[in-house]
Amino acid sequence: MSRLTVCFRNLMIGIGLLSLLTPAFSQAPPMTIRVGVQPVMISTLWNAIAQGLFKKSGLDVQLVTFTTGPAQTAALKSGVVDLAWGAATTFYAIRSSGAPVQWVATIGDFNGNDALVGFPQRGIRTAADLKGKKVALPFYTVVHAPFLAWLDANGVKESDVELVNLAPPQAVAALNNHTVDAMYAWPPFTTEIESRGGAVLTSPKDAPGGGWSWDGFAANQNWAEGHEAALARFLTVLDQARSTIPANRDAIIRTAVQVTGMPESTAKASFQLAKFPSLRDNVTPGTAISMCAADTGKGLSMVLSQAKAFYMRTGQITNPARFSEFLNPKALSAGLGMHCP
C-alpha cells in the first residue's frame, strides 16, 4: 500500500470520526422559555410559532395557557413561567405590590378590541342610555378607568350608573339573562354577545387618552436578569414575525385556535381588530409605547401615570413603583441594536 493511499485512508477515517463528534460540540441545546398566554389574538406570537421561527433561532418556547389573569400572574411571580402576556397597566399594579416583574415590550394595541357591548333592542345605544342601568365589568382592569373617563366625557356621572364587578364569563351570563344591561370586556366574550345581536357602544380608543389596552410581555425579573440574550432573541423573533402577519392570516388563526382553544370565529374577528406596532417604537422617543425617559411622563408612562392615579385613588396600590424600575427595555434594545438616547 502506497504512502498516498495510507494518508488518504487516514484522512477519511478522521473526517468520519469528526462527523460523529462535531454535533456533540457544535449543536447547543435550544434555550427554553416558558411563556404564559391567554385566549388572545397575539398575531406576532402565533405567526412566529406557525413559521417555526423560534426553533430556527435556537429557542424552545413552551406555552402555558391560562384562562384567568390572577392564575397567570401567580405563575409569573413564582417563576413557573418566565414571561406572561397582558396589559402594561395591570402588571404595573402588580409590580407596585412588590412582585418581581418588569415590562419588557409592548407588542399590541388592543384599544380597538375591548368593547362595551349591549343589546340595542333593550334601548342601550348611547352613554346617556346607561343612566340608571347596570353595567358589568371586571374592576381595576384595562376597561374600568377608560369606561369612567368615557362616561364623564359624555356628561354621565359615575354615580348615574350601577357598576357590577364581574369577570367576563359571568358578565356574559348576566347580560344574557337580563341581570345587567351592558358589559365591558374583550374577545371572545364581546364577540359572543355580538353573535347574538349585541352591538359595540364604545371601545377604549374612544376614551380620553385613547385607552389602556397596550398589551405585551412582562418578565419575571429574576429570570430576565440572568437570560437577557435569550429574551432579546425572543423579542427580535416577534419583530421579525410582525412583517408577515397579513400574508399568514390563515396560519395565524389556525395556530391561535389550536394553542388557546378560542373559537375560530373569535380568532377571525380579533385578527381584524388587533394592531401590532413596530417593536422599535418601544425604544423610540415620542411614540405612544416608548419606554425612553420613563419617569418624565412621556411615551408609555403617560398611560402608566393614569393607571397610577386611578389605582391609588381606589386603594389598589399604596406604594407605587417608579416607572423606570418597572420598564426594562435592555433586552429589546440589545436585540434591535437600538437604545434610548
Nine cell digits for residue 183:
358589559
Structural domain contains residue 92: yes
Residue 174 domain-assigned (yes or no): yes
Same domain? 101 vs 238: yes
The last residue of a domain, from among 165, 189, 206 = 206
Residue carrying the nine cell digits 498516498: 4
Dihedral sign (CA 54, 56, 62, 66): positive
Does the residue 331 lie in any domain?
A: yes
Residues 139, 286, single domain; the answer is: no
Structure-block grid coordinates of residue 72? 397567570
Q: Domain for residue 5, yes or no? A: no
Which whole-number Å values give the CA distances from 138 to 168, 229, 301, in the listed order? 7, 36, 23
Local confidence band at 16 (pLDDT 50, 70, 90 cut-offs): very low
Kindly state whether residues 146 and 187 are assigned to the same domain. Answer: yes
Final residue of a domain: which of 206, 223, 253?
206
Categorize the per-residue pLDDT at 20 as very low, low, confident or very high, splitting at 50, 70 and 90.
Answer: very low
Q: Does 296 share its domain with 327?
A: yes
pLDDT, one tens digit per residue, over 29-84 is: 789 999 999 999 999 999 999 999 999 999 999 999 998 888 999 999 999 999 99
**pLDDT, averaged across the chain:** 90
CATH number of the domain residue 177 falls in: 3.40.190.10
For residue 77, being part of any structural domain is answered with yes
pLDDT of residue 211: 93
- Is the pLDDT at 10 greater than 70? The verdict is no
User: What does the pLDDT read at residue 133?
Assistant: 96
Give the whole-angstrom CA distance, residue 304 versus residue 88.
Answer: 8
Q: Same domain, yes or no, for 135 and 188?
A: yes
What is the rounded distance in angstroms from the CA atom of residue 292 to the CA atom of residue 278? 15
Q: Residue 329's closest CA among 338, 316, 318, 321?
A: 338
For the chain, the C-alpha Rg in angstroms (whole number) is 24
| 234, 318: one domain | yes
pLDDT computed for residue 28 by the predictor: 58
Residue-wise pLDDT for 147-203, tens only, equals: 999 999 999 999 999 999 999 999 999 999 999 999 999 988 998 899 999 999 999
pLDDT in tens, 247-304: 999 999 999 999 999 889 889 988 988 899 999 999 999 999 999 988 888 899 999 9
Answer yes or no: is 18 within a domain. Answer: no
> Which of 197, 209, 196, 201 minimizes the C-alpha distance to 185?
201
Q: Identify the pLDDT of residue 187.
A: 86
The per-residue pLDDT for range 116-126, each reduced to its tens digit, is: 999 999 998 89
**Nearest Cα to 282, choosing from 206, 325, 336?**
336
With respect to residue 270, please indicate whether it lies within any of the assigned structural domains. yes
- Are residue 250 and residue 302 in the same domain, yes or no? yes
Q: Which of 70, 113, 116, 110 is nearest to 93 (CA)?
A: 70
Within this chain, do residues 217 and 100 fall inside the same structural domain, yes or no? Answer: yes
Residue where a domain stops, chosen among 206, 239, 260: 206
Strands 83-87 and 214-220: antiparallel
Are residues 313 and 278 located together in one domain of the fold?
yes
Question: Is 26 a residue whose pLDDT tops 70?
Answer: no
- Domains contained in the chain, number: 2
Asked if residue 217 and residue 93 are part of one domain, the reply reads yes
Do 219 and 327 belong to one domain? yes
Q: Are residues 222 and 264 in the same domain?
A: yes
Residue 219 lies in a domain: yes
Determine the structural domain holding residue 197 and report its residue range: 115-206
Could you identify the residue written with the cell 405563575? 75
CA 269 from centre of chain: 17
